[in-house]
Amino acid sequence: MTKRKRQNKPTVDDDNEDDQMDISDDGTSDEEEELEDLTVDTEFEFFDPQKQDFHGIKRLLTQLFSSDAKLLDLSELTEIILDQPLLGSTVKIDGEGAQGDPYALFTVLNLGVHKERSIFKQLRKYLLEKSKEDEQIHKILNEVLQSDNAGIIFSERVINMPVGIVPPMYKMLIEEIQWAVDENEPYKFDWYLIFSRTFREIESTLGSEHSGNKKKKKKPDTLSYFHPEDEIIEQKSDFIFDFKFTQQQASSDSKRTFYDFGVSTAMRLFILRGDKLQAVADELEKACQ
């Protein structure tokens, strides 16, 4: 099932600008000419979540929750997402009905509608446990999580997907929410919760190639986002809550690689009032023009 209203599809030029080049007398190079020939224009298409996307969507959710994914029933969460195909989007490059996995996911689920499902009980317990040392956030979260008019947005994409796909996904979701509300479906949200993966540079544990010994190098403790659009969501949020993963020392090779190169990953939760989602979408569209 394709999107009810197809958007203009962003394209991306995939250039490698890091290669060393030998410049000729006219200021160009053979390598430059070859790279121009290798430029790839990719058309990203937006679709409703489809049953064949199960494993791809679950993989994106696993990436979102990182080392804590094993604490949550992401199979059930994926099934719930697939059960509401007219709300939310996936992004593919190989056309409708293709077997390829989606490269991005953007959707919202009603906490009140699904409050008795085990995955949402797990999420409530997970977030309340994480926030118990912050009295204000804990109280706010408890109220929002018990509300029948709170939506939780799940947004994730594979590495190197262009941020240009994000404004159309926001625009489509807002339109779909309005269509659902017009049909008296339970998608009029007073609050939104949005998960965001973050990272900080820490002391590196890599060894010195000259001495052969471990050498710690101090780096600035600055929080950064995996997705640049989260900077705009931060500006519009009413509350922000940072927390570490329970399974902080993950055993996977990818997580160890982050840590070895002096990067510590964590999670940030944005809490914003329902009427601010449109403002987020407007700012994203301006930023990507």
Which tens digit of pLDDT belongs to each residue from 222-275? Answer: 899 999 999 999 999 999 999 999 976 544 444 554 555 567 889 999 999 999
Q: Choose between 196 and 160: higher pLDDT.
A: 196
pLDDT of residue 24: 41
User: pTM value?
Assistant: 0.79
- Which has the closest alpha carbon to 84: 156, 155, 8, 1? 1
CA-based end-to-end distance of the chain? 29
Calculate the average pLDDT of the chain.
81
Q: How far is CA 169 from CA 103, 214, 246, 273, 282, in A?
A: 13, 45, 30, 19, 12
What percent of the chain has pLDDT above 70?
71
Confidence bin at 209 (pLDDT 50/70/90): very low
pLDDT at 2 > cutoff 80: no
Encoding tokens for residue 216? 């710690």
Q: With residue 272 as reference, give the H or E element that holds it.
A: strand 263-273
CA atoms of 253 and 245, how far apart (whole Å): 17
What percent of the chain has pLDDT above 90?
64
Question: Domain extents for the chain?
Answer: 45-197+227-232+269-287
CATH code for the domain defined by 45-197+227-232+269-287: 3.40.630
Are 100 and 93 in contact, with CB atoms under 8 Å apart? yes
Confidence bin at 8 (pLDDT 50/70/90): very low
Q: Choose between 4 and 241: higher pLDDT.
A: 241
pLDDT of residue 21: 34
CA atoms of 165 and 202, how far apart (whole Å): 31
Are 86 and 49 in contact, with CB atoms under 8 Å apart? no
Q: For residue 287, how many other CB atoms are within 10 A of its CB?
A: 14
pLDDT of residue 247: 79
Residue pLDDT, tens place only, 54-102:
999 999 999 999 999 999 999 999 999 999 988 999 999 865 555 678 9
Residue pLDDT, tens place only, 136-166:
999 999 999 999 999 999 999 998 899 999 9
